[in-house]
Amino acid sequence: MTPAQLFTYDLPLFAGLTETDLEGFDLGLSELSLQPWQTIFDQDDASNDLYFLLSGALLAVLWTSEGREIVFSRFRIGAYFGELAAFDGVPRSLAVVAKTEARVLVMKRKSFLKLFNEVPLIRERVALELVSRIRILTLRNLEMTTLTVEQRVGAYLLRLAAEHGGVTTGAVIENAPTHAEIAGSIGANREMVSRSISKFAKRGAIKSSRQRIEICDPETLTEELGDVMSREYDLAKT
C-alpha cells in the first residue's frame, strides 16, 4: 500500500503528513474484514501487529479465570490499538473482539516501529496518547474506589456522550453499549447498572431505548460526584 492509498483512510495518526514524509517506508499494511464477535487477537496472544479501526465497533476485554468479562474500552473510528505489544513484544494483555461487522487496517510491527522512530509527528502523537491513557486509568482507579455504582454509571454516560460529540442537553449516544457491557466497564453487575439507568431516566437525566441514550440533563448525572468527577466533567466538556 502506498502513502497516497493510506491517506485515503483519513486516519488521525497520519493527519497533516504528506507523501514525502512517508517516502521510502514499507508501510506493511493490509485490510481485514470481521464478523460480529470475531476475535482479532486474544489475551496472551503472541501477535504484535498494530491495528486501525476503519468501520464497525470493537471491544477490548479481559476474561478472568472465573470467566468474568471486564470491558476496558470501545474504539473510535480511526483509532489505533495493539501498540503495547508492538513496542515490547510481550503477549497481549487484553483480547479485542468485533461487536459488529467491522473493518480494520493492519500494520506490521516492524513498519510501526520504523515510523515511530523516524517520523517526529507520529512519535509525538503516540507518546501523548499513551500519557492520556495513563491519566485516564488513574482517574478510573480513583473512581472505582471512591464512587458508588450509580455515580460510576453517571460518569460513564458523560464520557460516552463526550466521545459522541459533546456533553450537552439533547446529545444522543447511538449504538449505545448494553447494560452488561457498561457493567463490565465499571466493575458492577448488570442488575445494578439497569437500576441506575432507570433511576436516571426517572429523574429526567436521560432517555434510554435499545442501543440509544439521549442526555436530557447533564447536570443531574454529575450530582454528588464530588471534586474528582467534577474535574472529569470539565474535561468531558472540552
Average confidence score pLDDT of the chain:
86
Q: Cβ of 79: how many Cβ atoms within 10 Å?
A: 16
CB 8 within 8 A of CB 54: no
> 56 with 7, same domain?
yes
> 180 with 229, same domain?
yes
> 28 with 116, same domain?
yes
> 173 with 100, same domain?
no
> 150 with 116, same domain?
no
Reported as a single tens digit per residue, the pLDDT across 89-147 is: 999 989 999 989 999 999 999 999 999 999 999 999 999 999 988 887 888 888 888 88
Range of the domain at 155: 145-237
Largest distance between two CA atoms of the chain:
59
Per-residue cell: 66: 472465573
Kindly state the average pLDDT of the residues 144-173: 82
Kindly state the average pLDDT of the residues 205-219: 85
Rounded to whole angstroms, the Cα distance separating 41 from 8 reads: 26
CATH number at 48 reads: 2.60.120.10
- Tally of domains in the chain: 2
pLDDT of residue 47: 92
Rounded to whole angstroms, the Cα distance separating 143 from 199 reads: 20
Q: Is the pLDDT of residue 58 over 80?
A: yes
Helix (H, G, I), strand (E, B) or coil at 224: coil
